[in-house]
Amino acid sequence: MNFLPLPSHTKTMNKSTITIEVETDDNRIPAGISWSASDTSAENAQKAKAMMISFWDSAEKAALRIDLWTQDMMVDEMADFFYQTMMTMADTYGRATRYTDQVEEMKTFAKGFYAKFREKQMKENKAT
């Protein structure tokens, strides 16, 4: 399998820091998520209702994940979050591999997932 090399850096390496803070209730359920980064123009930490972080452990050949969402995240927000995440994952995979056929498969799946969610929401809203 051939992957495209990442752009090489010929000068000194820069370091960036990303800080994530998760506030939990007494049951350790996330009540608030905020993040900040050293290489951003935002002065204050940014609030979020959900996060998905993945790291690749090449020694173990395994993805390590942290998936969290706050108790006030609505189902429609979660569907939007997943749809947008799947679409951007497809774009990232395309930039890394140039396998456009698989990128289109991933995007087709994401669109179908979102369409099914919307249909389900319409049915549930009519039932209430």
Sign, CA torsion 64/69/84/86? positive
Mean pLDDT for all residues in the chain? 92
Exposure of 33 by Cβ count < 10 A (0-12 exposed, 13-18 middle, 19+ buried)?
A: buried
CA distance 125 to 114: 16
What is the share, in percent, of the chain residues with pLDDT greater than 70? 91
CA-based nearest residue to 20, from 62, 59, 67, 61: 67
pLDDT tens for 40-83 read 888 899 999 999 999 999 999 999 999 999 999 999 999 999 99
CA distance 66 to 50: 10
